[in-house]
Amino acid sequence: MTTSIDIREEAGVRTLHFGSDWIQGAMRIARPWNLELDYTKEMMASLLLREDLRFPRKVLLIGLGAASLTKFLYRNYPLAQLTVVEIEPGVVAAARQFFKLPNDPQRLNIVVSCGSEFLLQTSKSWDLILVDGFDADARAGILDTTTFYLMCRAHLSDKGIMAVNLLGRSRGHRASVDRISEAFDGRALCFPSCDSGNVIAFAAAGEPVSVALADLKDQAIALKEATSLNLLPTLTKLEQAQSCPGGILQL
């Protein structure tokens, strides 16, 4: 795979592109550790789904992009061990040069590989798997197949959560959510789409998730105080979508 990597800057925001106008990642230069794109913030709603203060200790990120999710977790979860799988070495180089990707092999393991091949070859498990991998044409390819989602499920810990960034194109995301639901025996939930058209799907394995939206808001307030990430608007959208019967989010 050879990817044309473009770095652009506008209004204080640096963006990563793969030879097209699709934004593959973004960083506000004045706040490099913050999450800039809405969909990356919504993926972090996964942090609210387990009340265990030790969650997550082991995180797998498939797709590096501009390293936004990686940096957020690295900065705010100092006890977490992070593994990032990125198929294109040029993206890793760009993240280091332009997006302040930390160089800390003790806590952050960068693997240049296809996410699906990596899962086939490892026996490790993770508390949180974040899937955000696209090519220049915004296609996820093998990373959006039932087989791949089954592999993700097999590599989740007992309290494991998977979050996937899906592009909400007219015919795209519903089929993807169906594949995730099939792989996780129906234990999947799609959040309302972001303004950008991205749709975030969550799935769980092992221990059930059952959290009242009111409790999620309390946890979101605590997360905001600790990290400055505000997920309250996301939870309001979720409430308005009425996709959690009885005000309980269940996975």
- Checking 234-243 for CB contacts under 8 A at 24+ apart, the result is 234/41, 234/42, 234/45, 234/191, 235/45, 237/191, 237/192, 238/191, 238/192, 238/213, 239/213, 240/192, 241/191, 241/192, 243/189, 243/190, 243/192
Answer yes or no: is 24 within a domain.
no
Q: What per-residue confidence (pLDDT) applies to 172?
A: 63
Answer yes or no: is 159 within a domain.
yes
Answer yes or no: is 167 within a domain.
yes
- The number of distinct structural domains making up the chain is 1
The three-point CA angle 24-70-37 to 5° equals 40
Q: What is the pTM of this model?
A: 0.94
Q: What per-residue confidence (pLDDT) applies to 167?
A: 76
pLDDT (tens digit per residue) in 100-126? 999 999 999 999 999 999 999 999 999
pLDDT (tens digit per residue) in 41-78? 999 999 999 988 678 999 999 999 999 999 999 999 99
Q: What per-residue confidence (pLDDT) applies to 138?
A: 58
Q: What per-residue confidence (pLDDT) applies to 126?
A: 97
Answer yes or no: is 26 within a domain.
no
Q: Which residues of the chain have pLDDT under 50?
A: 1, 170
Q: What per-residue confidence (pLDDT) applies to 243?
A: 82
Answer yes or no: is 170 within a domain.
yes
Q: Helix, strand, coil: what percent of the chain each, to 5?
A: 35, 25, 40
Answer yes or no: is 123 within a domain.
yes
Answer yes or no: is 1 within a domain.
no
Instruction: Give the range of the structural domain holding residue 197, as residue numbers without chain letter.
Output: 34-250
Locate tokens 């234990």: which residue?
187
- Mapping DSSP onto H, E and C, the string for 28-92 reads ECCCCCCCCCHHHHHHHHHHHCCCCCCCCCEEEEECCCCCHHHHHHHHHCCCCEEEEEECCHHHH
Q: What per-residue confidence (pLDDT) applies to 195?
A: 66
Answer yes or no: is 149 within a domain.
yes
State how far the Cα of 144 lies from the Cα of 175, in Å rounded to an integer.
9
State both tokens at 39. 């969909």
Locate tokens 């915004």: which residue?
138
* 2 backbone dihedrals φ, ψ, rounded to 5°: -120, 120
Q: Identify the CATH number of the domain in which residue 214 sits.
A: 3.40.50.150
